[in-house]
Amino acid sequence: MNADTAAALSLLNAAAVRARANQMLQIGLRDGLPNFRVDLGRLDAAVDLVVATMRKNYPTLDVPFHARWRHFVRHGVDRYAMAAANFTDPHARARAAFDLAFVSVLLDAGAGPQWRYRDPVDGGTIGRSEGLALASLYMFARGGFAARRGAMADPIDQLRADAAALSVIETRALEESFQVTQDNPLVGLDGRAELLRSLGRLVGSRPDIFARGDTPRPGGFFDHLLTKADNGTIPAPLILSELLLQFGPIWPSRLTLGGVALGDCWRHPAIAASDVMTGLVPLHKLSQWLAYSLIEPLQQAGVTVTDIDGLTGLAEYRNGGLFVDTGVIALRDPAQADRAHDVASELVVEWRALTVALLDRLTVAVRTALGLDAAALPLAKVLEGGSWAAGRAIALSRRADGTPPLKVISDGTVF
């Protein structure tokens, strides 16, 4: 292994995300960042909002993990649990859950403010991440990602995503399932479709990883993780590292180093190093969202997942918006809030890295305010119970359409 490859692999983990995010925060605390000022004196306001949100949403503080599965629950009914109720083999159920997690999370980049999904069950309309979740679930349940949909005797066999189907999925299939029209536009639809095709091609090309217990499918990653478990136990950061290692090639036109695709990793001149990694800022938002979402299927299959706090907070616009709207971070040039910024821009990279580091500080303060320790309130529960929801709530209070405080140009593959 050459030095560049080794350096690249050292960025494919949560520890690297946390370390570089904290480096960005330390520069900000010295007032050395080009785009944002950091005011930790305002963190208490963010903490108060998160605590209030958590108490409102979970009065007993029995908060579940932050995961895609929360978005499949509507009006108290777990729609996926109903669809998957007839599985008897725990490993088959886990593969199906992995399949759904992969396609749903990869389709979960920001929908834009206009798009809505009409629920086929109750007729209600829902937008953003929850709407994307329901749309992906019903497409999955109808066999929309299965290679032999409609021809199977047992409907449960349609609860799968096959490499063969994913690799040729058409944008118009997503348009139909996600109810996209000229009057109901979905941001980055072509990017989402190509990401699924890229996923299918990758999975189909690696039967040694993805076809250990079935034909090639993303759910085969469950069987791969079983080979990495030690006596039925796997640490959450290892789930992420394996996700980044095995799925890195699916991401479009991003940085590579030593022949290794770096995924959700960008450049910022403030981040210094003495080698080829200077300026590189790994964030791995969608991959970490996916890692969080794979924990429960693993647990349900009898695998023990440890060190969940080893993952980081998610560098996305609700968490990031919370810190901007509460004044913890502020634009040096307020006019930048009126401009649209590319996801690779210094400003967006800076904002996202600060978000990751500040979520760690917020989590410690929220635990103190609630009198709970890390075991009772891990970061994954703070994300679910408070920061994400609080970011949405304050956005709605500041802007009628609930949009984030910064405008980011999305291709449907980041957030």
Tokens of 154: 């047992």
**403 near 319, Cβ under 8 Å?**
no
pLDDT of the chain, 415 residues: tens digit per residue: 788 999 999 999 999 999 999 999 999 999 999 999 999 999 999 999 999 999 999 999 999 999 999 999 999 899 999 989 889 999 999 999 999 999 999 898 777 778 999 999 999 999 888 999 999 999 999 999 998 765 554 677 889 999 999 999 999 999 999 999 999 998 888 888 999 999 999 999 999 999 999 999 999 999 999 999 999 999 999 999 999 999 988 877 678 899 888 989 999 999 987 788 899 999 999 899 999 999 999 999 999 999 999 999 999 999 999 999 999 999 999 999 999 999 999 999 999 999 999 999 999 999 999 999 999 999 999 999 999 999 999 999 999 888 899 999 876 566 5
Q: Give pLDDT, residue 65.
A: 93
Total-model pTM: 0.93
Q: Give pLDDT, residue 150.
A: 58
DSSP states along 356-393? HHHHHHHHHHHHHHHT--TTTS-HHHHIIIIIHHHHHH
Based on C-alpha coordinates, what's the Rg of the chain?
Answer: 21
Q: Give pLDDT, residue 207.
A: 96
Burial class of residue 400 (count of CB atoms within 10 Å of its CB; 0-12, 13-18, 19+): exposed
Strands (DSSP E) along 265-376, which ranges?
265-267, 280-282, 304-306, 329-331, 340-342
**350 near 36, Cβ under 8 Å?**
yes
Please give the Cα distance from 36 to 355 (Å, whole number).
12
Please give the Cα distance from 310 to 14 (Å, whole number).
7
Q: Closest Cα to residue 28, out of 299, 354, 371?
A: 354
Please give the Cα distance from 158 to 322 (Å, whole number).
39
Q: Give pLDDT, residue 274.
A: 73
Let me know the angle formed at the C-alpha of 20 by 16 and 376, rounded to the nearest 5 degrees: 65
Q: Give pLDDT, residue 151.
A: 53
The runs of H, that is alpha helices, within 30-62 are: 43-57
